[in-house]
Structure 1
């Protein structure tokens, strides 16, 4: 019995001894894995190299790079697009008009006057009788007056002013004032009477010429003096000679609107303008 116990103790001790080196061998690994609670050290990233290309001058100093435009999905009005809009809406019609003036000056000015008279009368019809139908024949009569009378005679009149009134100094103060005075005293007075006479003849009522002149000549001339003296001071002084006809017709649209309204209105403009009856 005692021998058996000693044998078992010996065997057990041998087993423990045989397992001890393995435990000793594994224990440091387990301890290090369990007890290694320190946070891992941060390893700094390597510095990035600046690979951008820098322009340098002759002295070796770096030159500033041009600003890089930001990419955007929006459609913006670039200078090229703006140039295209201006080219199509302004330059093309303007160049065509100038070409027509050079090729056929008198015809172009007469047609311009015709368009101005028609447009002015249509505007007057709209504001004077907004609910009535457009009187095509009335607009046609005024267009005929612009084409056959106002355009050709007006063109020759401006040529006379440019030729004989201070031609060596055409934009001086004395030249501008003289041209404006002659235009308003001579041309405006005569052409106002001619306008009413021609319109009544085109309407088929020449017997109404004197009646119309007595009723509307003075108020029409007074309305003329409210607009055209200032318009011609600007025209003769600041507008280049090649653009004066175009400028004159732009002002004509506003003036002809009022003129057509006066011609076909039944209002007593003497009382409206506080003018005495003669």
Structure 2
């Protein structure tokens, strides 16, 4: 595991934008697999690879570039790594889309910790790791019969 983390860190240093986008796409896909298998209990025979591929596409082409870009903008809007700056970033980050109202129990705490403890180039990965659970829920919610 340590060797895998070192490899990830090395790639992040060489190609941060690409690694963040690939990480986002993969983790959104993992969220859909978890949704189909653990929440919906579809079984592998009924697993929709088309759906997983679509979800990964959302991660690769929307979540990675847009959220990653947003974090860069946010870091310029609210400079610093203090507790106050982390709180300000969290508040600004939460000010969009009505869908976020349902996840206020999770994301404010995650984002305060993310903005306070995590370096900019790792923030997208942290959010995407937490988002695996959230993506599983969203995938289930969006695709429930």
TM-score w.r.t. the length of structure 1 is: 0.48
Secondary structure at the aligned position of 2:106 is classed as helix
Equivalent of 1:158 in 50, 71, 74:
71
d(CA) in 1 for partners of 2:41, 2:52: 15
d(CA) in 2 for partners of 1:222, 1:172: 26
- Corresponding residue for residue 136 of structure 1: 49
Residue 118 (str. 1) matches residue 18 (str. 2): no
Q: Which 4+ residue blocks in structure 1 deviate beyond 4 angstroms?
A: none
- Corresponding residue for residue 38 of structure 1: none
5+ residue gaps, structure 2: none
> Which fold has the larger relative contact order, with Cα–Cα distance below 8 Å and residues 6 or more apart in sequence?
2
d(CA) in 2 for partners of 1:130, 1:184: 32
Equivalent of 1:239 in 118, 121, 124:
118
Closer/same/farther in 2, CA of residues 175 and 102 from structure 1, 3 Å limit: same
Number of residue pairs the alignment of both structures matches? 143
Larger radius of gyration: 1
d(CA) in 1 for partners of 2:14, 2:131: 24
* 2:36–2:42 CA contact under 8 A, matched in 1: no
Residue 230 (str. 1) matches residue 109 (str. 2): yes
Deviation track 1:196-252 (CA, whole Å, cap 9, x = no partner) reads: xxxxxxxxxxxxxxxxxxxxxx5x433222211111011112233443233222111
Root mean square deviation, CA, Å: 1.7
d(CA) in 2 for partners of 1:161, 1:232: 12
- Corresponding residue for residue 97 of structure 1: 8
* 2:12–2:121 CA contact under 8 A, matched in 1: no
Closer/same/farther in 2, CA of residues 109 and 230 from structure 1, 3 Å limit: same
- Corresponding residue for residue 94 of structure 2: 184
Secondary structure at the aligned position of 1:226 is classed as coil
d(CA) in 2 for partners of 1:104, 1:240: 16
- Corresponding residue for residue 131 of structure 2: 252
d(CA) in 2 for partners of 1:162, 1:107: 19
TM-score w.r.t. the length of structure 2 is: 0.88
Q: CA deviation at 1:120?
A: 0.3
Deviation track 1:1-57 (CA, whole Å, cap 9, x = no partner) reads: xxxxxxxxxxxxxxxxxxxxxxxxxxxxxxxxxxxxxxxxxxxxxxxxxxxxxxxxx
Q: Which has the higher helix share?
A: 2
* 2:21–2:60 CA contact under 8 A, matched in 1: yes
d(CA) in 2 for partners of 1:251, 1:97: 18
